[in-house]
Amino acid sequence: MEVVFFLLDGCRQDKLEEANTPNIDELKENGTVVLKCKTVYPSLTAVGHMSILTGCYPEKTGIITHFYWDWNERKFYEIFSDEYCQAKTIFEILAEKRLSGGVYGAYFRRGAGDSFKKRILRKTAGFISEHMNFVMNFLVKHPNLYKKLRTRVVGAFDEFIRDYREGKHSFYYMMFNDTDKAGHRYGSDSKEYLEVIEKLDEKIGEFLNIAKKLGRKTAVVVSADHGHIPLRSKISIEKLDLSDAGYEMESVKYVSAAALIHYRGKRGDSIHAAVVSRHVQFWFEDEKRISIVADLLSQRKEFEDVRTRDQLGEYRLVNERTGDLALAVSNGYGFDFLPIGEKGDHGGLSMEEMYVPLIFGGEGVEAQILKEGRVVDIMPTILKLLEVDYPHVQGRSLL
């Protein structure tokens, strides 16, 4: 038995239904379809991927956004990496059972059966991402070069097809980030966004034809880590000004698709904020000032759902890394200083960002419609298909 998981990065549930996708429709017709599958909050790439690959919420994975402030070392850590995940990945679980998992197109692969060359390339890419911000900023502005280099590091569709033909793994994780890029560049309400979904459906169809010819017992999963929302208006970093609460913006560091802000209070205490797409978290040196800042930010129409740390339990987001205050940017708004969000972005709480497709088809899957599910249910379902028992998850099998 094998399982192939196609992850369409940044794919909205409603847009997948709108697009012309005959191959995915075939999987739907004969498989299990989840009508409302909810991702985790914040609806960001690393947060969603790690919850999918561990079956756990951010409270347990520790991937609570893409950065966190460490008070002991007084610096930000970038946690856009499975290195910082505090839960076991499906690849590690499978390895313990002497089963192998392959990853294609994704950086999140801890425990996967990578070659020595690929492990070296990945470590080099991780070092560049963490220590050479000027290189990352350059690559963000040159997407074609970034795509070529990224393919060398994380693998591509052709490599996946080759490995599947050879029966190299029990589990194949094929991530396409084309949808996410189209959402950022053109907006998720654009024809270009739909066209990308349709092209990915063709690739899935190519695989399905190969699987049929080989006659192997294979289950197929299609889902996404988060959705997308088109941006109607851009806001500047001044919207995060806290001078009315007694804090001046001391410095701002732009890192790829994020901004790290340091504030200094009149009494000498500090606040540190990580802005990632449409999500912001704050860490306070003086916790008595949290409510004052929360009240100030709540009055601004550009922000919504401003919550203190003790109010984030509903989102299963409270971890030792979690900020003292978090907020989502209001629907339709995005920051103008983040280069990745040209016409679309994610990280917020809109339905377009929080609901993703989830389809199970192929071997071992019955035809049924489920009203709801969550992305943390994907990994337990895959483990059940592979007949692997692992109880330390927060999701549940949907089959």
SS3 395: coil
pLDDT at position 133, please?
A: 55
The fold of the 233-340 domain, in CATH, is Gyrase A; domain 2 (3.30.1360)
In Å, how far from its chain's centre is CA 375?
A: 11
pLDDT at position 339, please?
A: 87
Q: Are strands 358-362 and 218-223 parallel, antiparallel or unpaired?
A: antiparallel
Tokens of 120: 């070296």
- Contact between 357 and 224 (Cβ < 8 Å): yes
pLDDT at position 175, please?
A: 97
- Contact between 155 and 105 (Cβ < 8 Å): yes
DSSP structural state of residue 330: P
Q: Are strands 32-38 and 368-374 parallel, antiparallel or unpaired?
A: parallel
Q: How many whole angstroms separate alpha carbon 345 and alpha carbon 328? A: 12
Q: How many whole angstroms separate alpha carbon 17 and alpha carbon 35? A: 11
Q: Are strands 355-356 and 32-38 parallel, antiparallel or unpaired?
A: antiparallel
pLDDT at position 150, please?
A: 47
Phi, psi of 102 (to 5 degrees): -115, 145
Q: How many whole angstroms separate alpha carbon 290 and alpha carbon 285? A: 9
Whether a cis peptide bond, with omega within 30° of 0, leads into 42 is yes
- Contact between 180 and 146 (Cβ < 8 Å): no
Strands (E), 80-170: 101-104
Q: How many whole angstroms separate alpha carbon 275 and alpha carbon 321? A: 15
Q: How many whole angstroms separate alpha carbon 131 and alpha carbon 22? A: 44
Strands (E), 188-268: 218-223, 229-230, 233-235, 247-255, 258-265
Residue 284: what residue type? F
SS3 68: strand
pLDDT tens for the chain, residues 1 to 399:
999 999 999 999 999 999 999 999 999 999 999 999 999 999 999 999 999 999 999 999 999 999 999 999 999 999 999 999 999 999 999 999 999 999 999 989 999 976 544 544 455 545 445 555 555 555 455 555 555 554 454 458 999 999 999 999 999 999 999 999 999 999 999 999 999 999 999 999 999 999 999 999 999 999 999 999 999 999 999 999 999 999 999 999 998 789 999 999 999 999 999 999 999 999 999 999 999 999 999 999 999 999 999 999 999 999 999 999 999 999 999 999 998 889 999 999 999 999 999 999 999 999 999 999 999 999 999 999 999 999 999 999 999
**Could you give the angle at which helices 178-186 and 191-214 cross, rounded to 10 degrees?**
170
Q: Quote the pTM value.
A: 0.90
The fold of the 2-230+349-385 domain, in CATH, is Alkaline Phosphatase, subunit A (3.40.720)
10 Å CB burial of residue 270 (0-12, 13-18, 19+) is middle
Q: How many whole angstroms separate alpha carbon 279 and alpha carbon 240? A: 12
Q: How many whole angstroms separate alpha carbon 339 and alpha carbon 181? A: 12
Domain ranges in the chain? 2-230+349-385, 233-340
DSSP structural state of residue 241: -
pLDDT at position 144, please?
A: 55
